[in-house]
């Protein structure tokens, strides 16, 4: 699902379908802000990773971000407007997690893609950053972290002692989209309760 501004109805798309995405987003602009939040977390031990899980994860977690960002950035440049793009990554981009081989890889790739985008789009006054949350209590987070033993082990590594709520991530995204972060680009904002320092 791709939500646009309050001026337009939301578009429901399979972002892995490049042609459908291009056809839907092309006429939907102009854009000034973009948040790439679509993601899948198909958890499998490294030795059991399937081609299907890898392909789906790459399609949604990386290729879709690249493609949607290209469409939106081209429109921003053509309109001559400054803009901001926030890609929702994860603490898993910087820390290995059991059964997360594919997820960790796609999020690490997303962090580097975001840095390259920041470098190349900066001269057009388009800022690109990531937010990198810990486990967030979304439907996906609840499914993947419902085992009390598994979740306790993770929470014990978070100095603030809890998983993130959706608002924690939303507020960080709003900051990165706003003029209050006008000199911030190519950065990753950790919303991890201190996980990466523990």
Among 31, 103, 145, 195, the one annotated catalytic: 103
d(CA 101, CA 141): 17
First-to-last alpha carbon distance for the chain, in angstroms, is 35
Return the C-alpha torsion angle 47, 48, 52, 58, nearest 10: -50
The two tokens of residue 97 are 């997690």
Cα diameter, the chain? 52
Q: Is 16 labeled as catalytic in the residue annotation?
A: no
178-184's contacts with Cβ under 8 Å and 24+ in sequence apart are: 178/84, 181/84, 181/127, 181/129, 182/127, 184/127, 184/129
Catalytic residues: 103
């Amino acid at each position: 699902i791709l939500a646009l501004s309050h001026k337009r109805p939301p578009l429901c798309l399979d972002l892995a379908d490049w042609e459908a995405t291009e056809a839907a987003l092309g006429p939907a602009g102009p854009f000034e802000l973009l948040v790439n939040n679509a993601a899948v977390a198909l958890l499998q031990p490294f030795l059991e990773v399937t081609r299907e899980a890898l392909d789906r994860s790459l399609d949604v977690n990386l290729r879709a971000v690249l493609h949607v960002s290209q469409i939106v950035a081209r429109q921003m440049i053509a309109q001559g407007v400054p803009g901001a793009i926030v890609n929702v990554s994860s603490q898993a981009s910087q820390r290995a997690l059991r059964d997360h081989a594919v997820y960790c890889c796609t999020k690490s790739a997303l962090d580097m893609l975001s840095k390259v985008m920041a470098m190349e789009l900066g001269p057009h006054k388009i800022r690109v950053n990531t937010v990198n949350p810990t486990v967030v209590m979304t439907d996906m987070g609840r499914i993947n972290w419902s085992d009390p033993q598994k979740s306790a082990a993770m929470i014990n590594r978070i100095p603030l002692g809890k998983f993130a709520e959706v608002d924690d991530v939303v507020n960080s995204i709003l900051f990165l989209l706003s003029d209050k972060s006008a000199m911030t680009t190519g950065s990753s904002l950790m919303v991890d309760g201190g996980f990466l320092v523990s």
